Amino acid sequence: MPWRRLAIIAFIIGPILALLAFGFTRDARYITSPLIAKFATPFTITLFDGRKLTLDDLRGKAVFLNFWASWCPPCRAEARDLEAAWQKLKDKNMVFLGIALQDTDQNALEFLKEFNVTYLNGKDEAGKIAVDYGTWGIPESFFIDPQGRITYKHVGAIRAALVMAKLEEAAKGIVSAQEGRGDYQPIR
Amino acid sequence: MIAALGHTSILLAFLAALVGIASPLIAARFEPERFRAVARYSIFGQFALVTLAAAALIYGLIATDFSIKYVAFNTTRATPIYYRVTGLWGALEGSLLLWEWILIIFAGIVAWVYRKRHHEMMPWVVMIFSIVSAFFLGVIGFLSNPFETVSPIPLDGRGLNPLLEDANMMTHPPLLYTGFVGLTVPFAFAMAALIVGKVDEAWITTTRRWTIIAWFFLTAGNLVGAWWSYHVLGWGGYWAWDPVENAAFMPWLPATAFLHSVQVQERRRMLKVWNLSLIIVAFSLTIFGTFLTRSGIISSIHAFSSGPVGGFFLGFLAFVLLGSFGLLAYRADMLKEQPELDSMVSRESALLLNNIVLVSALFTIFLGTIFPLLSEAVAGVQVSVGAPYFNSVTVPLFLFLVFLMGVGPIIAWRRASWDNLKRSFLCPAIAALLLGLGLFAWKIRDFLPILGFTLMAFVAFTIIYDTALALRARKRIAGEGIIRGLVTLTRRNQRRYGGFIVHLGVVLIMMGIAGSMSYSLEKEATLALKQNLQIGNYRIQFEGLKGSQQPTHFRVEGAFRVIHNGNDEGIMSPALKFFPIQQSPVGRAVHQSSLGEDIYLILSGFSELDRNQATLKVLVRPLVIWMWIGGFVIAFGTLICILPMKTTQLSDT
């Protein structure tokens, strides 16, 4: 039995197979954001009530920025949590802003009505805001500190407790080391 | 009822496959002839049952039997019949059934054609086929069942992915799968030869035609994929080095090497280990390719949804690799004896270099494809590897390959003397250099394109020159004219002249690639009504938008008048298709081809508020049509290689 040859074969093929097996342990679609600890890109958004809002208007407050769409199941799953978190935090120096992506006005407004959402919401008309923030799966949530820097990003549905915890950190200017993950829907 | 019928057929076929696996082991101990028949019948049985299952699924698709989950997820009542049929391979479960069906058709033909020959090898060939078949049947029967039922029965289905609603859906997957599966034939014979210990030329001579056929389908499948990407997807490109595209291309490289390298074993009994390794690698890469598409470990636009299937494919891949190379190692002593290479300047060394170059290309493409995985495993860093890497490593290798294509078919065996070389290559080389200088003088100044075109011309000229010399000899000897002479030459040496034609086809494809890669023009602008866009020799004028409701989508077309060198070439209408289930529209680009270049129009966007405005992207891509022409030339050349032409036909043993 040519053991040496078999050993050489195993030594070459083995690591390749192990590498492929490693592939199962990670999510191939996940893209780490380079925006954490950087200044949030300014944008102007038209809110559903007709007003125009820019990111600069929110300077001095901690901002919870949430990208969503009415056709995305994880967004539906987190909607009540977000509204609950807002109710608890609305008297503090914090702002919740929701941005609807790739959605129609009618569907978006129906979504907001269904979940009794009271915080500010607008629509990303040209898709430019989503591109600037590198959204690749919704819902995506960004936490911005009062100076305008992104302290935390969470891809996927987020629970109320985490929202409140991360916003407290953002208010203090603490940048998170790692991104968070939840259930998400990739966008096309 | 159909679901039950289909699922039961698959399970029965799985049992038949198990019998096929056991048969040679039984035959070795008991009466060989009866058990050889059992092996054959297990293949025929699998064939009948799998065909029944495939027919059941196709029937379910055509009849929109929504009790079957697969049908409900891949068709709607409104889907035209031909797209319902292509639904068979539109998603994971069905595509596995297609693969298995093609596999068992090949196995059936092989089992029938060789039923009276290769008595020692055939049971093992059947066993190998049955192992692969059993794997796929096992996955289809137990893990990824296309006959799963859904209750309550939905009123209408979800529909085929809109991107797949295209005529190419009828050709690209079947062609590619036939190419992949076709490589199982030489692989099975190679393994049988190793098991039985008959590692000389018999298995190669037998499988020669099969390898050429598989190679042809692989080439055609890849080309049609490139055509689909170019013609339909609307980005103006034909190859993106996407991981799944690479997975379809990678088996082609060792398959091409194998196709050429076996000649050396046939003539000189050399390169035995090379040939066995090449076919093992080629077959393993087909399994790797289907693993990559279905495992979710690398993100790709081609990927099917991932599931538990991925792990089993990896397991099977491990089994194939370790089993085949293990077998090779076991028989290595038998393969050691071979003649030495006589000279570095000879056909043998050219073919050896051919192997090395193709394997190098394979290695670099494989590395680039799994690099994201490697980088994350080793360094925790996420990277993506794209066209710049692949182009920079493959271009030099393929240019060298073109050079070998010119030298290889003509150079002498064993040792090419200086006289040989002068006689065969001096005139074509000079002609090619003159052409290169001419191109330089005309307007091509960049190094790589000039080198590429000169080498391609060299290949063409060597072929033409050699054929001309042979025709002159025919004229002298038998007084035959050009046509008669060509027919006689081809009849007497099919492989040589068929090969020449295929090489010419490859040169045409590379010409198209070189032209479009190096000299494409691109421009994007938002145009108001009657506004113009200037690009190269073209002036494009926006004439208006038009919306219309189609059976499955809403279509917005932009009318653009194309004026080329002052001549009005008419209106071209790129469109955007809005499907109800998709959030963003699917683009439908249009292009006009000529021998020199293609003009390619993409409707990037339009404003819902202002109907008199559209965003247009224009591409001018030189020489692209030669890629498709080259494909047809390759098809013709392949036919010449394999069609039986002699009046007295010798059998293939």
Q: Do A13 and B322 touch (CB under 8 A)?
A: yes
pLDDT tier for residue A1 given thresholds of 50, 70 and 90: low
CA distance A73 to chain B (A): 14
CA dihedral of residues B13, B19, B24, B27 (deg, nearest 10): -130
Residues B55, B140, single domain; the answer is yes
Residues B524, B511, single domain; the answer is no
Cβ neighbours of A187 in B, within 8 Å: 583
**Structure ipTM:** 0.80
In a domain, B324, yes or no: no
In a domain, B32, yes or no: yes
Evaluate whether B230 touches B624 at the Cβ level (below 8 Å). Answer: yes
> Given the DSSP bridges, would you call strands B597-606 and B590-593 parallel, antiparallel or unpaired?
antiparallel
Residues B506, B609, single domain; the answer is no
A→B interface, C-beta within 8 Å? 1-2, 5-6, 9-10, 13, 16-17, 19-24, 26, 28-32, 69, 71, 102, 187-188
Q: Compute φ and ψ for B464, nearest 5 degrees.
A: -65, -45
CA distance A172 to chain B (A): 29
Cβ neighbours of B377 in A, within 8 Å: 19, 22
Residues B13, B145, single domain; the answer is yes
Q: Do A22 and B373 touch (CB under 8 A)?
A: yes
Q: Do A23 and B298 touch (CB under 8 A)?
A: yes
Q: Do A9 and B374 touch (CB under 8 A)?
A: no
Q: Do A2 and B325 touch (CB under 8 A)?
A: no
For residues B612 and B530, what is the distance between their CA atoms, to the nearest angstrom?
9
Q: Do B326 and A9 touch (CB under 8 A)?
A: yes
Number of A/B CB contacts below 8 angstroms equals 66
Residues B635, B489, single domain; the answer is yes
Among B297, B322, B583, whose Cβ lies nearest the Cβ of A102? B583
- CATH class held by domain A29-186: alpha beta
Cβ neighbours of A71 in B, within 8 Å: 583
For residues A5 and B325, what is the distance between their CA atoms, to the nearest angstrom?
9
Q: Do B299 and A29 touch (CB under 8 A)?
A: yes
Q: Do A20 and B370 touch (CB under 8 A)?
A: yes
In a domain, B510, yes or no: yes
Half-sphere CA count of A77, side-chain side, radius 13 A: 13
| Burial environment of residue B27 by CB neighbours within 10 A (0 to 12, 13 to 18, 19 or more) | buried
CA distance B326 to chain A (A): 6
For residues B223 and B172, what is the distance between their CA atoms, to the nearest angstrom?
8
Evaluate whether B207 touches B114 at the Cβ level (below 8 Å). Answer: no
Among B299, B310, B329, whose Cβ lies nearest the Cβ of A9? B329
Q: Do B373 and A5 touch (CB under 8 A)?
A: no
Angle made by CA atoms B242, B244, B246, in degrees to the nearest 5: 70
For residues B530 and B513, what is the distance between their CA atoms, to the nearest angstrom?
34
In a domain, B616, yes or no: yes
Among B298, B310, B583, whose Cβ lies nearest the Cβ of A188? B583
Helix (H, G, I), strand (E, B) or coil at A123: strand
Selected residue of A9, A20, A32, A138 to mutate for chain B interface (largest B Cβ count, 10 A)? A20
In a domain, B57, yes or no: yes
* Strand stretches in B23-130, DSSP E: none
Cβ neighbours of B310 in A, within 8 Å: 24
Residues B26, B142, single domain; the answer is yes
CA distance B583 to chain A (A): 6
Res B652: pLDDT: 44
Nearest CA in chain A to B371: A19
Q: Compute φ and ψ for B119, nearest 5 degrees.
A: -60, -35
Q: Do B583 and A24 touch (CB under 8 A)?
A: no
In a domain, B537, yes or no: yes
CATH number assigned to the domain comprising residue B618: 2.60.98
Q: Do B584 and A23 touch (CB under 8 A)?
A: no
Residues B528, B477, single domain; the answer is no
Helix (H, G, I), strand (E, B) or coil at A76: helix
CA distance A168 to chain B (A): 30
In a domain, B317, yes or no: no
Evaluate whether B174 touches B273 at the Cβ level (below 8 Å). Answer: no
Q: Residue B419 corresponds to which tokens in the numbers above?
A: 């006289």
Nearest CA in chain B to A127: B584
Residues B474, B594, single domain; the answer is no
Cβ neighbours of A1 in B, within 8 Å: 330
Evaluate whether B285 touches B292 at the Cβ level (below 8 Å). Answer: no
pLDDT digits (tens, 9 = 90+) for A66-120: 999 888 888 998 999 999 999 998 888 889 999 998 888 888 899 999 999 999 9
Q: Do B329 and A6 touch (CB under 8 A)?
A: yes
Taking 70 as the pLDDT cut, the residues of chain B under it are: 28, 31-32, 301-307, 581-583, 646-653
Which of B160, B177, B205 represents a domain boundary (last residue)? B160
Which of B139, B160, B181 represents a domain boundary (last residue)? B160
Q: Do B295 and A26 touch (CB under 8 A)?
A: no
Residues B468, B565, single domain; the answer is no
- Number of domains into which chain B is organized: 3
Q: Residue B313 corresponds to which tokens in the numbers above?
A: 């494919």
Helix residue ranges per DSSP H, B331-417: 332-335, 347-379, 387-407
Nearest CA in chain A to B297: A23
Report the side by side order of strands in the sheet with A140-144: A52-54, A44-47, A120-123, A94-100, A62-68, A140-144, A150-155, A180-181
B→A interface, C-beta within 8 Å? 291, 295-299, 310-311, 314, 317-318, 321-322, 325-326, 329-330, 332-333, 370, 372-374, 376-377, 382, 582-584
Q: Do A188 and B582 touch (CB under 8 A)?
A: yes
To the nearest whole percent, how much of chain B has pLDDT over 70? 96
CA distance B102 to chain A (A): 27
Q: In terms of residue numbers, what domain contains B137?
A: 1-160
Helix (H, G, I), strand (E, B) or coil at B307: coil
